[in-house]
Amino acid sequence: GESVGLHLPTLSVQEGDNSIINCAYSNSASDYFIWYKQESGKGPQFIIDIRSNMDKRQGQRVTVLLNKTVKHLSLQIAATQPGDSAVYFCAEKPPGAQKLVFGQGTRLTINP
Amino acid sequence: EAGVAQSPRYKIIEKRQSVAFWCNPISGHATLYWYQQILGQGPKLLIQFQNNGVVDDSQLPKDRFSAERLKGVDSTLKIQPAKLEDSAVYLCASSLGSQAEKLFFGSGTQLSVL
């Protein structure tokens, strides 16, 4: 069945360090992936997306890496700031489906 | 650019009562989605509209949930009667195209069923 999961439910990092949030997806034919950030009491906010024909995509302070061989997606946040504290969700779009399937999420906390 | 608007922000009802949520998507966005997010989980798609037509409602509990998108703009999601397990955040999202890519979400309605 469709499922998108995360290796770790919580991640704690020092302010200024780089954060890496991991995600495993189940459908090897999924052609689109996306990361969202959700702060408490708010809806998910788009961070970055990537298509299956790419291995890496960079944004402002964020990089998404896609490893299709092991069906793994990661989000790297450079120089983590207190404002990065949130729950991060990855989602995939299975082939032939016009919908996003979300994982459980990883809570990122920043230590001062 | 205004974002996706949802109301109310919070709703508390007793089981077996009915409740309705409203969503106004980003102007010009053809596709509208309703997601249910149970505490500690990722959002789960309930129903997807393309303009005013239903694209996917396979995970909508149709015995109690209904949704409409009249005129292809605003949408309402209704639950009647509500059950305890319906307690969740109901998120509305919209996207410019029909490809379910880069969805923009509203802040959601937090529903508590007592």
Report pLDDT digits (tens) over B34-43.
999 998 889 9
Are A44 and B98 inside 8 Å of each other by CB?
no
| CA end-to-end distance (rounded Å), chain A | 41
Q: Encoding tokens for residue B20?
A: 């309705």
* B47 within 8 A of B56, measured Cβ to Cβ: yes
- Is the confidence at residue A3, as pLDDT, over 80? no
User: Which residues of chain A approach chain B closer than 8 Å at the C-beta?
Assistant: 4, 32, 34, 36, 41-46, 49, 89, 91, 93, 97-105
Are B107 and A34 inside 8 Å of each other by CB?
no
Question: Rounded CA gap, B10 and B42, in Å?
Answer: 19
Predicted pLDDT of residue A2:
43
* B90 within 8 A of B35, measured Cβ to Cβ: yes
pLDDT digits (tens, 9 = 90+) for B22-72: 999 999 999 999 999 998 889 999 999 998 899 999 999 999 999 999 888
Predicted pLDDT of residue A112:
85
Are A100 and B45 inside 8 Å of each other by CB?
yes
- Is the confidence at residue B5, as pLDDT, over 60? yes
Name the minimum distance, in Å, from the CA of A6 to any CA of chain B: 11
CB atoms inside a 10 Å sphere around CB B110: 17
Are A102 and B42 inside 8 Å of each other by CB?
yes
